[in-house]
Structure 1
Amino acid sequence: MAQAVIMTSESLWRTIRGEAQRAADADPVFGQALARAILAHDDFAAALADLIGHRLGRSAAERTRFTALSRNAFRDEPDLIAAAGRDLRSIALRDPAITSLLPPLLHYKGYVALQAWRVSNWLWRHGHGDAALLFQNEASNVLQVSIHPAAAIGSAVYLDHATGIVIGANVVIGDEVTILQNVSIGRDSELPARSPRIGRGVYIGGGATILGDIRIGDFAKIGADTVVTSDVPAGCTAVGNPARLTNCPEPLPAA
């Protein structure tokens, strides 16, 4: 399994380096930035750790610290890099504005915020709560995306536009989920407080709010500005405040 992860990461890295080299050859000025961000590194993990450090750190010391913590996480758990690669490929597949991997890697703050969360979650799971919360705080300050390190998020996830996204502690988000700007997902005021569980392939529109001990089924859609406080079955669309269901799949006929 580990060998397959390494091979997949190497293939991804060759593609990214190739795109970077072609862009650098075409534009020498931009090429200087690419040389530091991409071409100076030996692998995807090193480049991603450096990118996280430079985006979150507001001083040389902070940049060094964030980079080092990210490298430690990626070295200890190669699956984090595999997930980061799936996240990156998913953007290229779902965003009609791009056709390559380099632009979202370098310029999409939602991508960087998600990978910073992956490091913070690793820190949280290894008993480094203060460092994990530091990652969350800086990602919130700099990137306007706040994901608690105790959340659980799958791979091939796309934070589109990625401004004003808040994901609380113990929220569970499945693979292939798309989340737009100004989305809040977290606990409600009821006791005991529990967090939402978001299924695979769910689409969450801008401004949506999802609260409480509820389940959003696989491939459901949550419309813009919708407020969801109860379950949404798989394949259904929820719209409005309070949410109402529409476009649900037809039930199978009785046997």
Structure 2
Amino acid sequence: MSRIALITGATSGIGKATALAFAGAGIDLILCGRRQDKLDELSASLHAKVQVTSLIFDVRDNGAVQAMVASLPDAWKNIDILVNNAGNAHGLGTLDEGDTNDWDAMIDSNVKGLLYVSKAVIPLMLERGKGHIVNISSIAGKQTYANGTVYCASKAAVESISEGMRLELTQHGIKITNVAPGAVETDFSLVRFKGDKERAEKVYQGFEPLQPEDIADAVLYAVNAPSRVTIADVTILAGAQSAATTIHRK
């Protein structure tokens, strides 16, 4: 088999774009998500290019994560690349008005989910003495903004986890890359605003936002870099964006 990549949140947005980019590069895929129909649809579209298998689990469920990764056939456990992409924003408001269910959803997926999946995969990489973990953070992990405190905190945690992973795992031949996207046009805002399409669309009006493929290109570049190179941390902003919430709209 060629290299194997496990991608969480693979059925949409950055995760799906990364799967397509990896398939184009001949990287076999373990696609992870919560919806069987979406996983089957994506898998079918990629089978002509690479070998594909899928795992159905919610990253917030540690038991399911560990069981599903353990259930992989031995050949599929030779995971070369892990892309921790699953996660989301929920709600936008001040702390005193925030919904604690939204807080739990963000911390459980963006932080704990990333840790659960990493804990399941890292031992497999350690056994082979090689691997590459790509964590999808956010500009929000580097620059906190009002009304997004908990989301920003969850992504700041990803930044710290990436740094900690690098300190712990480089000696074992495992590279760590942290990718922090700015304004990417995905379902991100639709989820944040509870399905309010009109409000979500306004987020991307007046400028040209990043596309998921732009982030996937950076991820592919990082995992294809020579062994002497580690792309440790990269921030990708839209052309009209100069900071987390500073976008120059026309």
Q: TM-score range by the shorter chain?
A: under 0.3
Larger radius of gyration: 1
Name the structure, 1 or 2, with higher relative contact order (CA <8 Å, separation 6+).
2
- TM-score, structure 2 normalization: 0.26
After TM superposition, the score normalised by the length of structure 1 is: 0.26
